[in-house]
Amino acid sequence: MKIYVLGAGAIGSLFGGLLFAAGEDVVLIGRKPHVDAINKRGLRITGIIEEVIKVPATISPPEEKPDLIILATKSYSTVEALRASKAIVEDTWILSIQNGIGNEDEIRKFGGKPIGGITTNGAILVSSGVVKWTGKGITVVGLYPKGRHTFVDKISEIFNRAGLETIVSENIEGWIWAKAIVNSAINPIGTLLRVKNGAILDNEELLSVAVEVVKEGCKVATQNGVKLEVHPIDLLFQTLKKTRENYNSMLQDILKGRKTEIDYINGKIVEYAKSVGLEAPLNFLLWGLIKGMEKLHGGVENVWGKRE
């Protein structure tokens, strides 16, 4: 299958590299330092496996249309990435493996055929050209927002062949929301307190706040007609147990002085609450605090550091 990975960072390079190694016709589309390093020395995957993969990489989308685009930018880069690839996006199957709500709707606005996805694999970009596969997880894919299609079954088949454990869901919207609701609790709480995920599980007060945030998200999802595929409270406990040693991705973004995906997690839950006449005060509070934190980077070394 001809596959382009749009947004070859940590998770995109991992998926693209493994798919190429399994014989798929893959091109990674990313930023110059990473792309140059891959073209010079190959993509090195460390951690769960040790492999150097000579997958082609480019900074601009090829002209020829692929069978599938895997969208793996951060959610805040989705629109810009789709715009830059407009010519190949229209009428093409596009699978989002991103976190957050709304990526598939953007794909549709650009004329792409959206496939939803979530993944519990973990990856970090160690340096240009080097990705560490930190945790083996599962990937769920599905025709967005619901339903079944043979092309999605085919994606699942080739992912599994490449060593990426994958299942197909007929209610991918329900999975995307469940994961986003769990992230809406763990990520901002872990970020505001600068703690590993396990600290939320071990602390009665933090855990009860996380549970209330999750309950609020569930109410918003249900009122918007989303049928949650797994119960987010169960998923919260499972995730906290499995990722006890992780600093969540939002905290890592803040520590690196980068933007976070808060608008596409808690921000979207607030937006969806308003659309059905509800309020989501816990999500609003967490959203506002993290947005404020992002802005503090303009004036301080980091939010916990000294004023410059």
Ligand X SMILES: CC(C)(CO)C(=O)C(=O)O
Ligand Y SMILES: NC(=O)C1=CN([C@@H]2O[C@H](COP(=O)(O)OP(=O)(O)OC[C@H]3O[C@@H](n4cnc5c(N)ncnc54)[C@H](O)[C@@H]3O)[C@@H](O)[C@H]2O)C=CC1
> 98: closest CA among 225, 230, 284, 261?
261
> 115: closest CA among 29, 183, 28, 175?
175
Contact between 81 and ligand Y per CB under 6 A = yes
Contact between 104 and ligand Y per CB under 6 A = no
For 18, the enclosing helix (H) or strand (E) is helix 10-21
Cis peptide before 145 (omega within 30 of 0): yes
CB 246, min distance to ligand X, A: 4
Q: Which of 4, 7, 187, 262 binds ligand Y (CB under 6 A)?
A: 7
Distance CA 7, CA 193 (A): 30
Contact between 246 and ligand X per CB under 6 A = yes
Binding to ligand Y, residues 196-235 (CB under 6 A): none
Distance CA 89, CA 69 (A): 8
Distance CA 36, CA 47 (A): 22
Beta carbon nearer to ligand Y, 166 or 249: 249
> 180: closest CA among 252, 228, 241, 136?
228
* Contact of residue 16 among ligand X, ligand Y, none (CB under 5-8 Å per partner type): none
Sketch the per residue contact string, 164 through 183, with ligand X: x for CB under 6 A, - otherwise.
-------------------x
Residue with the CB atom nearest ligand Y in the bound state: 9
Looking from the CA of 39 toward its CB, the CA atoms found within 13 Å total: 14
Tell me which stretch binds ligand Y (CB under 6 A): 95-103, 195-203, 212-220, 224-232: 95-103
Beta carbon nearer to ligand X, 126 or 158: 126
Distance CA 6, CA 233 (A): 32
Looking from the CA of 127 toward its CB, the CA atoms found within 13 Å total: 3
Torsion of CA 191, 265, 144, 74, to 10 degrees: -60
Contact between 98 and ligand Y per CB under 6 A = yes
Using DSSP's 3-state secondary structure scheme, residue 60 falls into coil
* Contact of residue 283 among ligand X, ligand Y, none (CB under 5-8 Å per partner type): none
CB 77, min distance to ligand Y, A: 4
What residue type is 160 in one-letter code?
N
- DSSP letter for 68, please: E
Burial of 64 from C-beta contacts in 10 A (0-12 / 13-18 / 19+): exposed
Contact between 69 and ligand Y per CB under 6 A = no
Q: Which of 73, 243, 260, 266 binds ligand X (CB under 6 A)?
A: 243
Q: Which of 74, 179, 196, 268 is catalytic?
A: 179
* Contact of residue 10 among ligand X, ligand Y, none (CB under 5-8 Å per partner type): ligand Y
* Contact of residue 187 among ligand Y, ligand X, none (CB under 5-8 Å per partner type): ligand X
Distance CA 48, CA 203 (A): 30
Verify whether residue 179 is a known catalytic residue. yes
Give backbone dihedrals phi and psi of 139, rounded to 5 degrees, phi first.
-120, 140
# residues contacting ligand X (CB under 6 A): 10
Sketch the per residue contact string, 123 through 142, with ligand Y: x for CB under 6 A, - otherwise.
x-x-----------------
Contact between 72 and ligand Y per CB under 6 A = yes
Contact between 186 and ligand X per CB under 6 A = yes
Catalytic residue list: 179
Question: Which residues of this chain interact with ligand Y, rule CB under 6 A?
Answer: 6-7, 9-12, 29-31, 72-75, 77, 80-81, 84, 97-100, 119, 121-123, 125, 249, 261
Question: Which residues of this chain interact with ligand X, rule CB under 6 A?
Answer: 99, 183, 186-187, 197, 239, 243, 246, 248-249
